[in-house]
Structure 1
């Protein structure tokens, strides 16, 4: 028997795939074992909370379309997969993984089916750095990219941010393993670990007691266009269309904005974005049109959260 069961029980699989997962609604009583399982990437460590908002949003989009397409069940992958491995598995389409999330690139689009809806509305391209507190006086003197080039930035091996930083002639030190980045930072292997505004405070709060020299750099904000999309295995075209439909419904009624502010509002307030020295970087991996759209989204984060419209 294959270690990776098919999405649907044998009795309903062909019909439901043909109907874009809608078939479950008309196959009589739905048992738990008959509900399609959608596998997303397992977290990289027990302290890794980076993707909670994306899992919640995916679940919300699927629930918004459940009446039309039927129930599904989200489940993390059995293995911890690097980003590169995630796209290898999506491309192979063996059922190890059905969906992941990442920035756009031609290689990713050749391996998986993207839903071109920016699920973080550009927020991941607003970067605040984790640093060793002993470096804070030096970093306080940085006012432009030329000054930042004196320091080394740490990133994960294969992360797309590496090319963004190198395109601005910044020094980048790459590390294999998410948790190793925090240890290497405090070991002095690099000077700054730039993190998304929605990531940095949770990461700091989870580790500061065990790493008392870990600090959040208080003055700099690195900004670059960085949209974030869901990607689906090739066989999951119907699922991709369903998720896109759910996201558009959420955007139209204001619940997508409410989701973003629920997960990231406290971090936005804590970041004091308008008080920081902002350095703009170019993202060489995206088109000018996409960059302009993301820049418009970024500007919205410096404004008060919108009032949520009531659902009809």
Structure 2
């Protein structure tokens, strides 16, 4: 067969090829919540991991692309927007109430460390956070938390003197004004937040680590089985050979802040009815984090 006949055969094959074969694979658009707090790089971790999970699942589910919502939303509105179709996915701390509202993809995005908390206090109360302070001593002080946060419920149940606010920024500004004594923030977020809400009246406690059971998951609409399975598959791909901890601790804002907290030198306070958390497994997790960060 000469060259001209080969070219004619190829052209005929091309023009009569089914459209489905010629078309580019369809890209799945995944719409997520826009980050509510500006200038907080820690919050971008969940978008970073979502993007990695999206790419890690392309071998099985095809290409996908992330898009942020047009406007930021509070957590409760995000969950409602999943079932109305305004969002495809969001992330939030889990609770029984939230898991009734939407479908949780039960891969712990903070590897169980969302409940590892450090106090930021009004400097008037520095003495109350001395190394000898007990859990009961901390319960006597006025703690401010977000309204309807899952950890607010945990702390109230354990008789902490918790006041609630609707406004995230008021955690810092009102504590600086002396309206509250302290707040509890996650070990991966406290340094970046303090940089954003600088005040001469605020100081980060260096002596204590409060630990309670709290997980943050991705959530999708109740009936969005396909997306839930895709993201769960992608996350498990990321965690092959237990590599997820390395992704967590080496995310730049985390990597830059963790050494400044001296977590292994702190007095550990366990707040847990389930008895699943012990000082031994907290110490083991901190050692795992230390090793992954090198």
TM-score (norm 2): 0.83
1:202 aligns to what?
A: 192
- Once the 2 structures are TM-superposed, how far is the Cα of residue 281 of structure 1 from its aligned partner? 0.6
In the alignment, the residues of structure 1 paired with residue 79 and residue 50 of structure 2 have an alpha-carbon distance, to the nearest angstrom, of 18
Between Structure 1 and Structure 2, the one with more strand by share is 2
TM-aligned CA deviation for residue 73 of structure 1: 1.6
Q: Give the Cα separation in 1 of the matches to 2:230 and 2:278.
A: 24
Taking the aligned partners of 2:137 and 2:279, their CA distance within structure 1 comes to 26
Matches within 5 A, 1:213-292: 213-263=201-251, 264-282=254-272, 288=274, 291=276
Query: Residue 298 and residue 73 in structure 1: after superposition, are their counterparts in 2 closer, same or farther (change >3 A)?
Result: farther
Correspondence 1:172 to 2:162? yes
Judging changes above 3 Å, is the alpha-carbon distance between structure 1 residues 302 and 192 closer, same or farther for their aligned structure 2 residues?
farther
* Corresponding residue for residue 125 of structure 1: 115
Unpaired runs of 5+ residues, structure 2, are: 1-19
Distance 1:27 1:44, change over 3 A: farther
Q: State which drifts further: 102-111 or 194-203.
A: 102-111
Question: After superposition, where does 1:1-312 map in structure 2 within 5 Å?
Answer: 28-29=23-24, 35-90=27-82, 93-140=83-130, 143-208=133-198, 211-263=199-251, 264-282=254-272, 288=274, 291=276, 296=281, 299-303=284-288, 304-306=290-292
Q: CA deviation at 1:229?
A: 1.3
Task: Judge conservation of contact 1:127–1:194 (CA < 8 Å) in 2.
Answer: yes
Q: Which runs of 5+ in 1 are unaligned?
A: 1-24
Quote the Cα distance in structure 2 between the aligned partners of 1:58 and 1:245: 12
**Contact 1:121–1:297 (CA<8 Å) still a contact in 2?**
no
Q: Distance in 2 between matches of 1:150 and 1:194?
A: 14
Q: CA deviation at 1:206?
A: 2.4
Q: 1: CA distance between counterparts of 2:266 and 2:22?
A: 57
Q: Distance in 2 between matches of 1:299 and 1:277?
A: 15
TM-score with structure 1 length normalisation? Answer: 0.79
The answer (yes or no) to whether the contact 1:126–1:223 under 8 Å persists in 2 is yes
CA radius of gyration, larger in: 2
The DSSP-based 3-state class of the residue aligned with 2:183 is: strand
